[in-house]
Structure 1
Amino acid sequence: MRNQYMAKVLVYNKLVTEDQINAYKDKVSDSKDIGQVLVEVGLLKPALYQKVLAYVRDLEAKNAQAETAAAANAAAIAAAKEREAAKAKEQAKEQAKAQATPPAKKAAANEAPSAPASSSQGELQIEGNDIYGKSSISAKEVKAVAGLESTQLAEFKPTMQESEPEAPAAPAVAEEPAKALPTHFAVESGEGAPVQAPESLSPTTSLAEMIAFARKFNATDIYLYPDRQVAMRQSGNIVPVTEEAMSVSELSNRLDDVADCFDDGYKIVQGENFSKTAGVPGVGRIRLSVTWFEGVPSVSIRIIQAESASLESLYLPPFCESFAELTSGLVLIAGPSFSGRTTTMLTYAETIMRNRETYIQTVEKPIERLLRNTAGAVAQREVGLHVHSGVEGIELAMNNGADVILFDHLENMDELSLLLQASNAGALVFAVTTGNNIHALLSRLLASVPEVSRTNFAYTLAEQLKGVIVQQLVPVVQNQGLILACEAMKVSSTVANMIRKNDFSQIAAAISSQHDQGITLDDSLQKCVESGYIDGFEAWKRAYDNRRFASYRPAK
């Protein structure tokens, strides 16, 4: 019973998950309960385990007392029944009236009320004190754990401040609504005294110095895995940067380095996967992703560039620069993950801010690079930090009269519909989404709309869509960095008609025929090869029609 009670308490109070209980319950033995197993694998702190154990022992003691009392009560009732039965039998011999009354029924009429029957499901009604001395009676249903007995347990809420002495229980406070936003809204930039990059790295190097090292050598990502060398991604290739492997303890120390740097005051919880941005003093902003396996973390760090960029430096087709001159309409920026879509979108914002006074509002998931608008105003809002959802962020931007709206990134049709509504109302909208080419992107957008409203949506999209960029980052020869290859177009009347008809079979031909107003991915890759930026093999791997680059195909 102890393991069943302990599992219920741990799951109900969100100290561990039901899946974690099920994953390790096979390791339970007569000498080791489920709490000790979870402590060994690092999912439960020893101090919390001791509090849970004390609570469960108290619960077992109370249940034992209740069972003893119930047994004594049952014995007394049985003795009373025997006395009543004997008395009824004696009376039956003396009175004729008693002959018509079954002795059992008469005995039942005279016997004392019996104790309430216990639940067939083994539910417990617990009365007493919890581990904080708070008197309580609880009949709260606890979420069932597969393979364990269903019980009802008194509420158990351990404090995380284990170093402080326990205080008397405070009056109950109503729980914060599920959709409440964080109270901490500051966005940390990571500014401060610059951290110097070391000459070489080791697993004991601080996380700030690792980030400084990555920036110095233009690495885009840092990877920290247990019992492996520290690695970084440079020019699209992953290379080790330490000779020694990183131990689990050193990996935990690197997480401690960044624990207080999150924008919303987020605290790292062992066993809880997450991906968030943070500002690390002296080295700038990063995006930290942590995945746990058996209590051990694996860490991926994306380096967020703080420097402003120009459209010219992105090597976009020249006609794409005109998108920054638009005053209304929708521009879609697509591509696979880690293809620089957000960088392109923010570069458009910075170009607009340099050339005209405007009010720009972003809705990001999450905020990465911070914008500075010296010729107008800019407001950056993060979903989950400043607004509950992307839809709420768009509505807020529309209500505030934003001239330019940047949205990163589209996840549903409600968001796209609102962005079309915003562009129709006079705003210029840049939105990041997924897609490998323009044909697939437009086909997917229209296929996502219910057929009954697809025609109206297609007409609205054809009217408001001004341009599309689908980009990829390709390694430059000799590991000299990355260059952008893209498929892009201005939406011409021909393309707009295709959108209205939901027929994109000739979209590639239409893009090619636009000459200085469109470029296919294969044409872009061809230019990169001819300019000597990329190897032909890279073009062959990425081309829409790789027969065009068949001569670069490696021999089998």
Structure 2
Amino acid sequence: MAKAPDVVDLLALAVERGASDLVITVGLPPMLKIDGEFHPTEYEPLTPQETRRLMYALMDEKQQRIFEEEKELDFSFSLPGKGRYRVNVFLQRGSVGGVLRVVPSTVKSFEELGLPKNIAEIAMSPRGLVLVTGPTGSGKSTTLAAMIDYINERKACHIVTIEDPIEFFHKHKRAIVNQREIGSDTKSFHKALRSVLRQAPDVILVGEMRDYETIAAAITAAETGHLVMGTLHTNSAPETIDRIVDVFPENQQEQVRVQLSNNLVAVLTQQLLPKAFGGGRVLAYELMIATPAVRALIREGKTHQLRSVIQTGGQYGMITMDACLADLYKRKLITYEMGLARAVDPKEFMRLAGAPEGARR
């Protein structure tokens, strides 16, 4: 086994092998995540000195200082001709480690990503709140980039993105696109959101709605006539509504429900699953559109009833995660076991998919 080369060669290897992530940690060779599974590279396990060398090679002096003070750092990194990467560097057991996410060099279309047909209509909404949710690595940033690109190609407007870090670079097409990165262009999401309303935006992208201040500012921006797109780490539309409401003090929650009911456009929840055959991954999603029935349930705090509205809302383009998984199984894109493992309600998935002979129950 050879010693690990420099980080540039490892990043090129990640792109060459179609990896989504490169993981650098002590005691293992550099690891590549391909189609959701980790694979070792053909190098020796890394020492603390090597992990430090590899990760420090990606940071400039300012970033190194911030990392040494904060013990962790997010940033983006570009290699001319090889690609762009989202980097998280951290300490673990006193040694430097890192995860480098490969950012695709081009923004894919809705069709290429397997997104629902009415996502174009959602992206072109004149105002309101559009939420894309799901676990880490479920393609949320990729979906939002596709939505921004779709608007950019079709609408003369001002788009402001607030990201940590910037992943996809957007050129000015029909729209003016200003992209702000946490740390280098602004101090935090909520500070950037406070000032963005003075920047004459039409569309605002909030990379991550993590806390009370950011969520409150995003709702206010949607309420004042802007289209606001954001992400949360939630696994269903009802959970998303509950998560937003729960970050507010109890005496504000009723008002927040009213604001959400008036301003929500849609919630798209995603997960990426390994394909049954041929490698690669496929998108599974749940889509809730803010119809009058959905708005009423949000306003009344009856989020537990939202699932039944999504189940019966097919004429509006709504679909539950379980119905989407069952459809992917019927189209032979995923295995039955994978659909069952990722289902929100396994019994509902089994009913929709039609349990095959010999399937685990």
TM-score surpassing 0.5?
yes
Q: Pick from 34, 40, 43: which aligns with 1:234?
A: 34
Letter in 2 for 1:277: F
Q: State the match for 2:96 in structure 1.
A: 297
Q: State the match for 2:25 in structure 1.
A: 225
Shift of 1:382: 1.8
Q: Deviation string for 1:11-42 (max 9, x for gaps)?
A: xxxxxxxxxxxxxxxxxxxxxxxxxxxxxxxx
Q: State the match for 2:205 in structure 1.
A: 406
Shift of 1:403: 0.7
| Larger RCO (alpha carbons 8 Å, 6+ apart) | 2
Within 5 A, what are the aligned runs for 1:119-134?
none
Q: Which runs of 5+ in 2 are unaligned?
A: none
Within 5 A, what are the aligned runs for 1:208-219?
208-219=8-19
- Structure 1 residues 440 and 369 mapped into 2: Cα distance closer, same or farther (>3 Å)? same
Q: State the match for 1:258 in structure 2.
A: 58
Q: Pick from 266, 281, 284: which aligns with 2:79?
A: 281
Q: Pick from 498, 506, 511: which aligns with 2:297?
A: 498
Mapped to 1, the partners of 2:93 and 2:239 lie a distance apart of 40
- Equivalent residues of 1:235, 1:479 under 8 A apart: no
Q: Deviation string for 1:385-407 (max 9, x for gaps)?
A: 22222222112221111010000
Q: Within the alignment, does 1:482 sit opposite 2:281 as a pair?
A: yes
Within 5 A, what are the aligned runs for 1:24-173?
none
Q: Within the alignment, does 1:428 sit opposite 2:202 as a pair?
A: no
- Equivalent residues of 2:158, 2:201 under 8 A apart: yes
| 2:42 partner SS | strand
Letter in 2 for 1:524: C
Mapped to 1, the partners of 2:113 and 2:86 lie a distance apart of 22
- Structure 1 residues 529 and 294 mapped into 2: Cα distance closer, same or farther (>3 Å)? closer
Letter in 2 for 1:499: I
Q: Within the alignment, does 1:457 sit opposite 2:263 as a pair?
A: no
- Equivalent residues of 2:266, 2:290 under 8 A apart: yes
Shift of 1:429: 0.8
- Structure 1 residues 538 and 275 mapped into 2: Cα distance closer, same or farther (>3 Å)? farther
Shift of 1:448: 3.0
Shift of 1:554: 6.8
Letter in 1 for 2:32: M
Q: Pick from 188, 197, 207: which aligns with 2:7?
A: 207
- Equivalent residues of 2:76, 2:166 under 8 A apart: no
Mapped to 2, the partners of 1:481 and 1:331 lie a distance apart of 28
Letter in 2 for 1:363: I
| 1:519 partner SS | coil
- Structure 1 residues 397 and 548 mapped into 2: Cα distance closer, same or farther (>3 Å)? same
Within 5 A, what are the aligned runs for 1:303-382?
303-382=102-181
Shift of 1:203: 3.4
- Structure 1 residues 275 and 476 mapped into 2: Cα distance closer, same or farther (>3 Å)? farther
Q: State the match for 1:88 in structure 2.
A: none
Q: Within the alignment, does 1:471 sit opposite 2:254 as a pair?
A: no
Shift of 1:205: 2.0
Identity of aligned residues (%): 24
- Equivalent residues of 1:203, 1:250 under 8 A apart: no
TM score, norm. by length of structure 2: 0.90
Q: State the match for 1:97 in structure 2.
A: none
Q: State the match for 2:344 in structure 1.
A: 544
Shift of 1:416: 2.2
- Structure 1 residues 297 and 453 mapped into 2: Cα distance closer, same or farther (>3 Å)? closer
- Equivalent residues of 2:336, 2:359 under 8 A apart: no
Q: State the match for 2:310 in structure 1.
A: 511
Mapped to 2, the partners of 1:446 and 1:296 lie a distance apart of 39
Mapped to 2, the partners of 1:251 and 1:454 lie a distance apart of 46
- Equivalent residues of 1:271, 1:292 under 8 A apart: no
Mapped to 1, the partners of 2:313 and 2:281 lie a distance apart of 27
Q: Within the alignment, does 1:385 sit opposite 2:202 as a pair?
A: no
Letter in 1 for 2:25: Y
Q: Within the alignment, does 1:531 sit opposite 2:331 as a pair?
A: yes
Mapped to 2, the partners of 1:295 and 1:502 lie a distance apart of 46
Q: Deviation string for 1:283-307 (max 9, x for gaps)?
A: 3322223333454322322112221
Shift of 1:270: 6.1
Shift of 1:505: 2.6
Mapped to 2, the partners of 1:491 and 1:207 lie a distance apart of 46
Q: State the match for 1:160 in structure 2.
A: none
Letter in 2 for 1:237: E
Mapped to 2, the partners of 1:488 and 1:251 lie a distance apart of 41
| 1:485 partner SS | strand
- Structure 1 residues 389 and 251 mapped into 2: Cα distance closer, same or farther (>3 Å)? closer
| 1:229 partner SS | coil
| 1:384 partner SS | coil
Q: How many residues align?
A: 354
- Equivalent residues of 1:331, 1:468 under 8 A apart: yes
Letter in 2 for 1:297: V
Q: Deviation string for 1:135-182 (max 9, x for gaps)?
A: xxxxxxxxxxxxxxxxxxxxxxxxxxxxxxxxxxxxxxxxxxxxxxxx
Q: Deviation string for 1:324-346 (max 9, x for gaps)?
A: 12111111111111211111112
| 2:41 partner SS | strand
- Structure 1 residues 334 and 514 mapped into 2: Cα distance closer, same or farther (>3 Å)? same
- Structure 1 residues 292 and 457 mapped into 2: Cα distance closer, same or farther (>3 Å)? closer
Greater C-alpha Rg: 1
